Structure 1
């Protein structure tokens, strides 16, 4: 019984390429469409996902290399209680800080810090090459996760587009087959099958 089932599965998968006097040209075309769809969906999806993940990883590494941490000093006391956010969690407050840029110029700005810190306290801020405040870069683990998720999303999207295009091509082929069948039926049975 198991051998019979395996043979049936093989027959179902390969029926479009078996020699058959009833096989039409559109059946062969459909077989190639299905094969191309699967190849593009799987191989194309994997390649596109890998490329997108690698590009995201490179971009995040470039961003990490373009910023660096410096020590800054609070110019006034930070608020004692954090503002409540929409989700009810508030862990940091904005505070004004002063830091020295790589070119030696003094800069001031707002950064997030723990509540209740006193004026003159030292905090770590992230700056770019011009000395402007920027967000802290993602850690290597966070960047790896984001790159992996981007790769998976692009791979799935590429596969979905390939399957959609293959399905659209098969629908057009089915419409063409129906038109051909109607024309043949009209030629063979002009009375619509009534005698």
Structure 2
């Protein structure tokens, strides 16, 4: 592995070999230089999730609803598979009176009378709950890792493309050298 980054010095090394080594080093330097960008992308995503959660907390409020009905929702997923989700109807108390809203639950369903945490918008419609701090950090980390993988793939593809071009040049040069060798060999003893 070390020979890939530090090839041995040799008189037989062609200029194309040096270009290939330089390309690998350049890709490594670029990958190191974009590390702050990766951190910035992850930090920006984390902050965006935090801001979205703060907006939900500022406009909506949490209520403790009670499950008043559970039924199986017969539907199919986007790929045509049957869905085993349950349709849950919940009720909660607001200053304007009791409100009821349908919810969808996946997996093991609740029973009638179970508590159901719910976030409600100012217009008294259910909204998605705000993300937690851990959710924000996970999304930031996933964004950073995604950008790192994308940059790594792009740099690896660039190095592979340069190597392919240099290999084609090496093969043309090899063919020319071989042809010159054959011509010298066919001249005979007198040359």
- TM-score where L is the length of structure 1: 0.65
1:39 equivalent in structure 2: 29
Matches within 5 A, 1:18-97: 18=9, 20-44=10-34, 46-68=35-57, 69-71=61-63, 78-79=68-69, 94-97=88-91
Residues 167 and 194 of structure 1, relative CA distance in 2, 3 Å threshold? farther
Distance 2:129 2:185 in 1: 75
Distance 2:185 2:47 in 1: 66
Structure whose residues are more often strand by fraction: 2
- Count the aligned residue pairs: 175
Matches within 5 A, 1:126-141: 126-128=119-121, 132-141=125-134
Deviation, structure 1 residue 60? 0.6
SS at match of 1:189: helix
Q: State the Cα deviation string for residues 131-150 of structure 1 (Å, max 9, x = none).
A: 64321122111221232123
SS at match of 2:183: coil
Residues 193 and 60 of structure 1, relative CA distance in 2, 3 Å threshold? farther
Aligned-residue RMSD, C-alpha = 4.2
Distance 1:111 1:127 in 2: 12
2:159 equivalent in structure 1: 166
Distance 1:40 1:177 in 2: 26
Q: Give the gaps of 5 or more residues in structure 1.
A: 1-8
- Contact 1:52–1:150 at 8 Å: present in 2 too? yes
Deviation, structure 1 residue 47? 3.5
Residues 182 and 135 of structure 1, relative CA distance in 2, 3 Å threshold? same
Q: Give the gaps of 5 or more residues in structure 2.
A: 76-80
Residues 165 and 129 of structure 1, relative CA distance in 2, 3 Å threshold? farther
